[in-house]
Amino acid sequence: MTASLELRDVEKRYGDFVAVAGLSLAVPAGVIFGLLGPNGAGKTTTLRMIMDILAPDSGEILLFGRRRQAGDLQRIGYLPEERGLYRKMTVIDQLLFLAEIHGMKRRQALPVVEDWLARVELGEWGRRKIEELSKGMQQKVQLIGTVLHQPEILVLDEPFSGLDPINQGLFKELLLDYRRQGRTILFSTHGMEQAEKLCDHIGLISGGRLVLAGELAEIKRRAGGNSYRLVAPATAADLERVRALPGVEVAIPRDPLDPADPRSASVRLLLAPGASSSELLRQLVQFLEVRELRSEEPDLEDIFIKAVRDAA
């Protein structure tokens, strides 16, 4: 599979601060690729460099398997994390303008715009100014603006943040539809659940470095077999003791520990390779009233935390 988008040893500094440090990443064509990482990991900087809004200090960015050429950006749909529209423009004028800067002719764009507006039930609103629309409607207009020019690659920065549930659903459908058409989608998020549901591939970055990348199913398969769910009444101090046990790599409370009713506490445990679960259970029962300890498929959050820890 050819990479439709590739970063090679890309670095970006702001003064003394290294935002992205030697990042190499390949996004295969026709997949949904999730760029994951906590806030400040360098996701936005990476996407901005892909969109040529920022220039990397070193390294190379390849689009469609070669160095960037004039007109490449018009083949990408970009949704920044900070988004907005001209408040005083009408919906149609706004969308036509966005289509035009992405290389479409006005005449050719108008039917597409009208088609889209009808599809998201904004047909009646085309002649209204953006400022007259509700927030949810404005989000729809923004989404249309991102995909209007039929981009081959979508680059989306935290696409689901701030979207209302209806638009989240709309957007998800659109992404899946795009993948079916063989287009490539790269999106960043710090919400692991979204990524888990949508992505084929993921890249985890932390502190500007890639700590893990690959096909999601494969990553999960590799990490599997070592993840457990523990249900036991536990206090914060108990949790500390669990963490200190030999063989335990990560212990994350799933539900917040409620001091009034510790009975519900459930903890996700990741064990070191080769650690034995029966040995773990033997140690746990010495200070906890264990109700349940069962093997589970790890979720992305576990994998991420472990990967960051291993990288450190």
Partner 1 sequence: MRPEHAFIVAKREYLARLKSKGFWIATALLPLFMAAMFLGPALAASRAKAEQRLAIVDATGAGLGRLLAAALTERGAGLDDRAGLDDRAGLDDRGERGEGVVRFETQLVPPGPDPAVRRAELDRRVRAKELGAWVWLTPGGLRDNRFEYHAANLSNVVTQEVLRSRISRVVSQWRLRAAGLDAAKIAEVTRPVALSTVRISATGSHAEKGIGGFRLAFGLCFTLYMVILIYGQQIMQGVIEEKSSRIVEVIAAAIRPTELMAGKLVGICLVALTQLAIWVAAALVLTTPAILALLTLPADRTLPEVPWPVIAHLFVLFLLGFFLYSTLYAMIGASFNSVQEAQQFAAVGVVFIVPPLLFIMPILNDPDSPLAVGMSLFPFFTPLVMMLRIASKMPSAWQIAAAYSLCLLTIAGMVWLCARVYRVGILMYGKKPTLQEIWRWVRYS
Distance CA 280, CA 198 (A): 34
**Of the residues 1, 39, 84, 124, which one makes contact with partner 1 according to CB under 8 A:** 84
Does 74 bind partner 1 (CB under 8 A)? Our answer is: yes
Distance CA 211, CA 308 (A): 6
- Provide the CA 18 distance to its chain's centre, in angstroms: 21
**Of the residues 88, 135, 221, 294, which one makes contact with partner 1 according to CB under 8 A:** 88
**Least spacing, CB of residue 133 vs partner 1, in Å:** 13
Tell me which stretch binds partner 1 (CB under 8 A): 90-98, 120-128, 225-233, 236-244: 90-98
Does 124 bind partner 1 (CB under 8 A)? Our answer is: no
Does 87 bind partner 1 (CB under 8 A)? Our answer is: yes
Helix-helix angle 91-101:106-119, to 10 degrees: 130
Does 143 bind partner 1 (CB under 8 A)? Our answer is: no
**Of the residues 2, 38, 86, 297, which one makes contact with partner 1 according to CB under 8 A:** 86
**Least spacing, CB of residue 77 vs partner 1, in Å:** 9
**Of the residues 3, 11, 30, 97, which one makes contact with partner 1 according to CB under 8 A:** 97
Tell me which stretch binds partner 1 (CB under 8 A): 79-87, 206-214, 251-259, 280-288: 79-87
**Of the residues 89, 122, 245, 252, which one makes contact with partner 1 according to CB under 8 A:** 89
In this complex, which beta carbon is closest to partner 1, that of residue 67 or of residue 87? Answer: 87
Distance CA 290, CA 199 (A): 35
Distances (CA, A) of 17 to 7, 51, 60: 20, 21, 20
In this complex, which beta carbon is closest to partner 1, that of residue 98 or of residue 205? Answer: 98
Distance CA 34, CA 175 (A): 12
- Three-state secondary structure call for residue 9: strand
Does 18 bind partner 1 (CB under 8 A)? Our answer is: no
Does 98 bind partner 1 (CB under 8 A)? Our answer is: yes
Q: Which of 159, 189, 195 is nearest to 174 (CA)?
A: 159
Distances (CA, A) of 127 to 101, 117, 133: 20, 11, 11
**What's the burial of 67, exposed, middle or buried (CB within 10 Å: 0-12/13-18/19+)?**
exposed
Q: Return all residues near 290 (Cβ < 8 A) that are at least 6 apart.
A: 230, 231, 232, 281, 284
Tell me which stretch binds partner 1 (CB under 8 A): 17-25, 60-68, 87-95, 172-180: 87-95
Rounded (to 5) percent helix, strand, coil in the chain: 40, 30, 35
How many other CB atoms are there within 10 angstroms of residue 164's CB atom?
13
Q: For residues 176-235, which are near partner 1 according to CB under 8 A?
A: none
**Of the residues 53, 272, 281, 285, which one makes contact with partner 1 according to CB under 8 A:** 53
Does 16 bind partner 1 (CB under 8 A)? Our answer is: no
* Contacts with partner 1, residue ranges (CB under 8 A): 48, 51-54, 70, 73-74, 76, 78-80, 82-89, 93, 97-98, 100-102, 145-146
